[in-house]
Structure 1
């Protein structure tokens, strides 16, 4: 039974797709609902805004197995939560005032923070081979070997094979390899948006490989392909394009704090893409 409108959300994403969704996974700070094509996440403010997130001040009351997203509200069990335009989170990037020279400097700052501050079992060993020794257990060594195989294809810019080998590899709600691929896609967006280099053909090759995975990974890829990002990543990429140096370092550390290794794996894919395409030295 409808109990009227509940309190307003803190924010809601600008890439939400209307439709019915069923509960996919539940965590203390996030409830993920999926259908055959898309994902919606009801999250706490600690998780933050995202293209398909609805941020609520509290999610402990939610026990609904299904939700419905409409044009201006989301129905959660017996409650309807309004989605007013002023609460919409804008997940895209604006590089209208970006400067190429400054962006290159900012990418160098970002790369330095990544190499110095990434968690031990992240894929940053692809950029610093001395870290590969940390992968000591049989599973870790197998992961490192598979990722290295994918990397060897990417180094030769055999992107289709490299991406297909990387997908689904590793730990986490989104495997390390999936985060890396999302970062690589984002690197292509920076190549096109900041450095005016062609990226559409490579983006198309990658899109052809993204046919499986969990709803969470599929949503990550879908948003990345469309240049839509969670708040911490958006702020980093925007700072690389047009922010002060100090902002880049702060945002980089914020991104590295995403998940166990997710932020670092995404960042590794981004830096790797720009390095192998000659944007970074």
Structure 2
């Protein structure tokens, strides 16, 4: 029996209400994913050092390496306990509820402008390359991929600034599945962008349909894990570390911002950097849409 530390409130309620059945979809050292037969979504069980996230429960374990979990192992819930075949039982007896709630877009933009400049400078120096941020040394294939990512993110940014949503939709869709990693760089960039566009009082909130339309076209263009991240982000549901970073951008002092940014940059190989660049894109678009001068030229 393993205790759950914290988890997404909807996931917890689904388990407690005996409405969860499915099978193991994919396994990794610190996480594994479950396909839920009731709603066809992926749910994640994460080790204790991971942060909270949509459809995620964090448990008191350091690794899943020695549990011999296998794809298609049966998963079901019974009496507040989630069973992973005969290999693991996760009790929700003392779990802490967590919910993905984005901050409100600020009225006073001074702190945001200052922190956004600091964030971009930090990424220029410390961001992980290999995705949207170009690596110094690249194979011909990596160079071509990097050029495509740069071109398509710039085109998306340009069309969003001009409020040409049909063209922006096409460029956003062209990013899906593009780039290296389990969650491709283009997908990660869109997760960051969707995060900002879903903030309450966002100047771009009236174009929320944009995120939904991108996701409608994403299912067959990327893998199941990345698609679920996009689907949740399109509704404003993202990992806790991303929410902390957005809060720090709005209200944080420099040390708070850098700590939060480091935590996001440590996601995956280049995923965190790609997400952070998507956040920057979304904030630039918001600043421009709100009648402010755009901070950066691309």
Q: Secondary structure at the match of 1:10?
A: strand
Q: Could you tell me whether the CA contact under 8 Å between 2:22 and 2:75 is conserved in 1?
A: yes
Kindly indicate whether residue 46 of structure 2 is the aligned counterpart of residue 43 of structure 1: yes
* Structure 2, unpaired ranges of 5+: 161-166
Q: TM-score, normalized by length of structure 1? A: 0.83
**Equivalent in the alignment of 2:271:** 262
Kindly indicate whether residue 216 of structure 2 is the aligned counterpart of residue 202 of structure 1: no
Kindly indicate whether residue 60 of structure 2 is the aligned counterpart of residue 57 of structure 1: yes
Structure 1 stretch displaced more, 170-179 or 149-158: 149-158
CA distance in 2, matches of 1:31, 1:235: 24
Relative to structure 1, the CA distance from residue 229 to residue 27 in structure 2 (aligned partners, 3 Å threshold; closer, same or farther) is: same
**Equivalent in the alignment of 1:183:** 192
Alignment of 1:18-167 (within 5 A): 18-35=19-36, 37-58=40-61, 59=64, 60-61=66-67, 63=69, 65-68=73-76, 72-78=80-86, 80-84=89-93, 87-95=96-104, 99-125=108-134, 134=136, 136-154=138-156, 155-157=158-160, 158-167=167-176
**Equivalent in the alignment of 2:164:** none
Q: Could you tell me whether the CA contact under 8 Å between 1:10 and 1:57 is conserved in 2?
A: yes
CA distance in 2, matches of 1:152, 1:98: 27
Q: Could you tell me whether the CA contact under 8 Å between 2:105 and 2:201 is conserved in 1?
A: no
Kindly indicate whether residue 247 of structure 2 is the aligned counterpart of residue 238 of structure 1: yes
Relative to structure 1, the CA distance from residue 201 to residue 56 in structure 2 (aligned partners, 3 Å threshold; closer, same or farther) is: closer
Structure 1 stretch displaced more, 210-219 or 103-112: 103-112
Match of 1:9 among 4, 14, 23: 4
**Equivalent in the alignment of 2:163:** none
CA distance in 2, matches of 1:152, 1:92: 29
CA distance in 2, matches of 1:238, 1:105: 14
Count residues with an aligned counterpart. 268
Q: TM-score, normalized by length of structure 2? A: 0.78
* Structure 1, unpaired ranges of 5+: 1-5, 126-130
Q: What is the deviation of 1:15? A: 4.1
CA distance in 2, matches of 1:56, 1:45: 5
